[in-house]
Amino acid sequence: MRHARVCLAAVCLGISLTGCAVMSTSVQETAETVEPGHLKLGADYNIGLDLTTAVFLPDDTSGTFTAEKVANLECYGLKLGVGVTDRLELNGKVWAAMGGAGGRVYGKYRFTDRDARTSFAIAPGVTFVTTESDDEDEGSLDKYIADIRSSGLEFPLIVTHRLNEHVLVSGVLRYSLDGIELVFPEESGLTDLNEGFLLHRVGAVNGWSFEFGSLYLRPEVGVEMTTQANGDFGIVPVLAGGLGLEF
**Residue 111 identity:** F
Q: Which fold has domain 2-246?
A: Porin (2.40.160)
From the number of C-beta atoms within 10 Å of its C-beta (0-12, 13-18, 19+), residue 21 rates as buried
pTM (predicted TM-score): 0.86
- Is 133 in contact with 19 (CB distance < 8 Å)? yes
CA 245 centroid distance within chain:
22
Residue 186 pLDDT: 79
- Give 97-156 pLDDT, tens digit per residue: 987 899 999 999 999 999 999 999 999 999 999 986 544 444 555 666 778 889 999 999
Q: How far is CA 1 from CA 112, 141, 198, 224, in A?
A: 61, 19, 27, 37
Domain map (residue ranges) of the chain:
2-246
Output the DSSP codes for 153-185.
EEEEEEEEEE-SSSEEEEEEEEEEEEEEEEE--
Residue 140 pLDDT: 54
Residue 214 pLDDT: 96
Residue 206 pLDDT: 98
DSSP label of 186: G
Is 216 in a helix, a strand, or coil?
strand
CB neighbour list of residue 31: distance below 8 Å, 6 or more residues apart: 110, 112, 119, 120, 121, 158, 159, 160, 170
- Give 193-222 pLDDT, tens digit per residue: 787 889 999 999 999 999 999 999 999 999
